[in-house]
Amino acid sequence: ASPNSVASSEHSGTQSPPSAWGLPPQAETSGHGQNTTWSNVSTTDRPASQFPLSQPRVHSSFLNDNQTRSYQLDVVQHPQRTAEFGSASLSRLPLAPPVVVQLIVRDRFGNSIIPEMELPFLVAHLSLFSDDGSRPLDMESSPSGNAPRRRLLYGNLVSSPQKLRDLQGRLGLYFLFPDVSIRWRGRFQLGISLLRISQIDASGVMSIASQGTVLAQARTRPFDVLTHENYVAPPTTRLTQSFLRQGARIHAFTPNSP
């Protein structure tokens, strides 16, 4: 899978997981075999003058589930690097900058909506992959078959949507992952899955489901995990600062502390 690739799906009534990755229109194939590069300019970083004058308004939606919706994930802030923590989980350092993923929900007419009744049941989950996205790496391989396997990806791997405004002041839904660490050095990428942990009965009442439904998926760009000696924390981004001012739940870490 390519970095920042997005899978969106339409769901009404009984849902099933999306069947394929969808590629965003800004993808540009480089001349290096199968490598794919992506535009560094996200919708949160562009100046307002680059957007069409007639932006669709975001509506709050209380519609029943029998009206089709589409779900899309867009990674608007990619991680750059972190330091490995090995066996010292109490002194681990988070990926920086924190992963930020925008959730875009549209009704059957293509209008952006905020599905108010559904929001408490929507979560995003992180998974770890090799840098080319071909191999899942959530668990480390054990040299001996009897040794317990440990997680390579550590921290708060599940996020709930938050209503926040981007750098142009537009309201949107965002998943934030400020507390994510990697056990060993290397080069990796993250996969993000949007899950709905709910079910709707015949009367339209929503409740917790026994198994979540995958609504959309996306990938980050590859990032580096370094030794503590070689790690230098990147500066705080404008987007992170803006979300902090809005009261977003982003922990205040001191990356260079022992």
CATH number at residue 211: 2.60.40.3960
Query: Does 48 map to a domain?
Result: no
Kindly state the average pLDDT of the residues 185-189.
97
Confidence of residue 68 (pLDDT cuts 50, 70, 90): confident
Residue 80 has pLDDT above 90, yes or no: yes
**Can you give the pTM of this predicted structure?**
0.71
Query: Does 22 map to a domain?
Result: no
Kindly state the average pLDDT of the residues 230-250.
94
Residue 63 has pLDDT above 60, yes or no: no
Total domains in the chain come to 1
Query: Does 24 map to a domain?
Result: no
Q: In the 3-class helix/strand/coil scheme, how is 24-53 assigned residue by residue?
A: CCCEEECCCCCCEEECCCCCCCCCHHHCCC
Query: Does 1 map to a domain?
Result: no
Compute the distance between CA of residue 173 and CA of residue 102 in angstroms, rounded to an integer.
Answer: 6
Kindly state the average pLDDT of the residues 219-239.
96
Residue 255 in contact with residue 94, Cβ under 8 Å? yes
Average per-residue pLDDT for the chain: 76
Kindly state the average pLDDT of the residues 177-183.
96
Compute the distance between CA of residue 201 and CA of residue 207 in angstroms, rounded to an integer.
Answer: 8
Would you state the pLDDT for residue 141?
Answer: 64
Query: Does 123 map to a domain?
Result: yes
Per-residue pLDDT reduced to its tens digit, 100-135:
999 999 999 999 999 999 999 999 999 999 999 999
Token pair belonging to 108: 């059957």
Would you state the pLDDT for residue 149?
Answer: 75
Per-residue pLDDT reduced to its tens digit, 132-159:
999 999 887 655 556 677 899 999 999 9
Domain that holds residue 218: 6-11+53-245
Residue 175 in contact with residue 101, Cβ under 8 Å? yes
